Structure 1
Amino acid sequence: MCRAFPTTLKGLARVWFSRLVPNSISNFIELSMQFASYFIWGHRYKKSAMCLMSIKQWEEEMLRSYITHFNKEALSIDEADDKILVAAFTNRLWKGKFLFYLYKNDSKTISDVLYRATKFMNAEDALLAREEKPKKRDRQKDVRQGMP
């Protein structure tokens, strides 16, 4: 079983197995205990809220993308305070209408910030959709009139 076991491994599990000291495990029970202690019972390291301060919205990055990235990191932090989350989120947010809106309305919780972000993105999407409709109609009109 010990010889067949490595053929079932992929990714990190395969890397873990390849790093085992040769002849350090004498039976399958010992191998399974080592595997379980490393992958299942392993210690989960806590991330500091300070790592959120490094997340930045780039100039051309969409707000949705920034929120997705920020949320992924925020969920990996244990016991993050709302004030810290709001400060970290707004700290590296690109200067623009949404940041102005947040400062103007003084959001206290990250839930409120994300709710406002959703409303802001939905409004932007609606305006973009509205702008695109006349363009499509104009193209159809041009085609009917024989214009390229």
Structure 2
Amino acid sequence: MHLQGVANEIMCQAFQTTLKGPARIWFNLLTPNSISTFKELSAQLASHFIGGHRYKKSTACLMSIKQWEDETLRSYITHFNKEALSIDEADDKILVAAFTNGLRKGKFLFSLYKNEPKTMSDVLYRATKYINAKDGLMARDEKPKKRDR
């Protein structure tokens, strides 16, 4: 918009449509006409949210992630991946070790120990196969419903 020569007022108004969550709330609480340029708006936004910058965690944090007692494997994978994304440059071997370390004892963990995966991709592939097989067996065990004739 700046390259097209769009006026500051229009850029400031258009800018608000791109905001979500806390940034949108912050924008809506600004005193009307308190900012005169887009540059000033950008600077105020940056200074307001700079304190909330999230720093990457160390790989040691991964070792504290555990599968909860009532947590499904599918949920644990989601939970683990969310935390792993906050780790800066996590090595595949560390990811595999941390994921395995956090798993509850059971058939899937036994299968990982029996045939150790080399990559996190391999772990996720095997986990998906395990989940699908378990879901298939559970569906098979369900009692069939009576058919309408």
Q: Decide which structure has the larger Cα Rg and report it.
A: 1
2:144 matched to 1:136?
yes
Q: Distance in 2 between matches of 1:10 and 1:125?
A: 37
Listed as ranges, the gaps of 5+ residues in structure 2 are 1-8
Q: Distance in 2 between matches of 1:26 and 1:71?
A: 40
| Post-superposition CA distance 1:24-82 (Å, at most 9, x none) | x8743453132453469x96622212222222111111100000111112122221111
Choose the corresponding residue for 1:34, options 43, 55, 77: 43
Paired position in structure 2 for 1:91? 101
| Number of residue-to-residue matches in the alignment | 131
Listed as ranges, the gaps of 5+ residues in structure 1 are 142-148
2:70 matched to 1:50?
no
- Rate the CA distance shift 1:46–1:32 in 2: closer, same or farther, 3 A: same
* TM-score normalised by the chain length of structure 1: 0.69
Specify the code of the residue in structure 2 equivalent to 1:110: M
Q: Distance in 1 between matches of 2:81 and 2:46?
A: 29
State the 4+ residue runs in structure 1 displaced beyond 6 angstroms.
none
Paired position in structure 2 for 1:112? 122
Choose the corresponding residue for 2:88, options 78, 86, 89: 78
Instruction: Report the structure, 1 or 2, having the larger helix content.
Output: 1
Root mean square deviation, CA, Å: 3.4
